[in-house]
Amino acid sequence: MYYNGFMTIATGIMGATGFTGVELIDILGRHPEFELRVAGSNSSAGELVASQNPFVSNLAKDLKYTDLSLENFAGLDLVFAALPHNTSANIIPDLIEKYGVRRVVDLSADFRLKDSGLYESYYGFNHPRKDWLQKAVFGIPELYRDNMKDAQLVAAAGCYVTAVTLAVHPFLKAKVVADTIIADCASGVTGAGKKLAPATQFTTVNENFSVYGLINHRHRPEIEQVCENKVLFTPHLLPIDRGILATCYFKVTQGVSVGKLQSILSDCYQDESFVKVLNSPPDLKSICNTNFAGIFVTLDEATDTAIVVSAIDNLLKGASGQAVQCANAVFGLDESMGLN
């Protein structure tokens, strides 16, 4: 075995210069078990990793970015794939099957959906490795950690999906959701990635607030798959760097009180390290730059409607932090390792 302090877990990152890749480098710099040995980036190949990450501790000073050739990652214990959609699908199975990578945590959407047809509808490509869709474990540890132990591939959940699912899962489990869930969400600009686009440039975003992806946003089928419930999902773009605030609404079953909802939420997450049940609605400043999810619930008795508010950092609990939490679970480590 290669964990619990007896042997370093040799780790690589594919896409190490994107927003999520940089966060992964920062986390791995303080992780006592995962040692970053390969940082893949075609755009920065040959440059010192430390030159772009000067404040990361325990980073090998002579480590250079490599290109994304699969042979550069051969034999690693763990690879984090922080690549664009429709990229991971073509290479991750080969990493495992041909290049001996033991475990992969994928931060793209390429292995999250079990129905391959949804990739054609929402992502515009025919999935090349449908056999791996059923093998991949969905990556929200609070829901699926028992399936992660020794998993070859974990498909880390999307940021919106994480914020919404953690908010409504306890109530779906308790069977007090009477109808469609409405998820009204807002995200910081880093959720769109580093690639330049008119909609995410400073002059467009600054002092603005906009809706996008109405009805057919790519995260909707992912949310519905996990929740096994109809979800009306509306995302908005905030003029801030990072963070997601999700306000979720649903009709409750007859006789459910606000006290009952609060008890359901508290009981579900009482033993979770990274979910905080709050007595008032969370805000983004208090949650950003952490791997926590803050959740609050109340009830509008006039309409029998539950209101659940959750907040996460889209780059940490919604991406890189959660990916490391998943990897910790895969290797049987304390899930908080490297994340506090």
> Which of the following is catalytic: 159, 185, 288, 326?
159
- Residue 185: active-site member: no
Give the Å distances, CA to CA, from 337 to 20, 38, 324, 340.
Answer: 18, 20, 8, 7
Amino acid at 292: F
Secondary structure tally for the chain: helices H, strands E: 12, 14
Q: How far apart are CA 271 and CA 293, in angstroms?
A: 14
Asked if residue 101 lies in contact with residue 37, where contact means CB atoms within 8 angstroms, the answer is: no
Residue appearing with tokens 């909609």: 199
Residues 6+ apart with CB under 8 A from 63: 36, 37, 39, 48, 49, 50
If one counts every other C-beta atom within 10 angstroms of the C-beta of residue 55, the result is 8
Residue 291: closest CA among 322, 330, 335, 329: 322
Q: How many residues are recorded in the chain? A: 340
Active site residues: 159
